[in-house]
Amino acid sequence: MKRIPKIFGIIILASLLVLIRAFENSLFYDPLLHFFEMDYKSMPLPKMDTFKLQTGVALRFLMNTIISLAVLWLVFRDRGVIKLSLIFYSFLFAILFMAFSFIIFTSEESSGHFLLFYVRRFLIQPLLLLVLLPAFYFQKYKSR
C-alpha cells in the first residue's frame, strides 16, 4: 500500500518536469530556443539580453534540480543520496554555467555553437536525473 503514494508522487514530479518543458517559451527568456531550431551552425548568435538569459537558465536549472532531488528522495528515502546529489548538482552547475557564460560572451560569428548547444542542454534539461537514478539504484543493488 505504501508504493501507491510513492508512485503517485513520482508521476506528479515527472509531470512537473514535463510542464516546465512544455511551457518553456512563456516561463523563461531564452532566444536560443528558436535559434537552435534553425540552421544554427552557420548563423551568428541572435541579439539577446545575456543577464536575462543567464537568469532564466539558472532558474530553470534550479527548478529541475529541486524536482529531481524530490524524485530521488521518493525513490531512495536516503539523506546520503540527496546530499551527494546536491553536491553533484552544485558542482556541475558551477562548471557548466561558467562554460555557458564564457561561450556566450566570447562566441564569434558562427563558432562555438555546437558546444553551446550541449552545455545549455545539460543546464536546461533534467538529464542528470536520468544519470543519477540508475547509478544510485545500481549502487543500492550492489550493496545488498
* Domain boundaries defined on the chain: 3-143
Start-to-end CA distance of the chain, whole Å, equals 24
> Which candidate, 20, 11, 49, 2, places its Cα nearest to that of 126?
20
Q: C-alpha grid cell for residue 103? A: 561561450
Q: Is the pLDDT of residue 1 over 60?
A: no
Q: pLDDT tens-digit profile of 43-102?
A: 888 889 999 999 999 999 999 999 999 999 999 999 999 999 999 999 999 999 999 999
Give residue 109's pLDDT: 63
Share of residues in the chain with pLDDT > 90 (%): 74
pLDDT band at 133 (very low <50, low <70, confident <90, very high): very high
C-alpha–C-alpha distance, residues 112 and 33, integer Å: 16
Between 2 and 25, name the one with better pLDDT: 25
C-alpha cell at 133: 537514478
- Tell me what the mean pLDDT of segment 109-116 comes to: 76
**In whole angstroms, how far apart are CA 114 and each of 5, 15, 57, 99?**
42, 29, 17, 13
Q: How confident is the model at residue 39 (pLDDT cuts 50, 70, 90)?
A: confident
Do 135 and 81 touch, CB atoms closer than 8 A? no
Position 110 scores a pLDDT of: 59
Mean of per-residue pLDDT scores for the chain: 92
CA distance linking residue 97 with residue 103, whole number of Å: 10
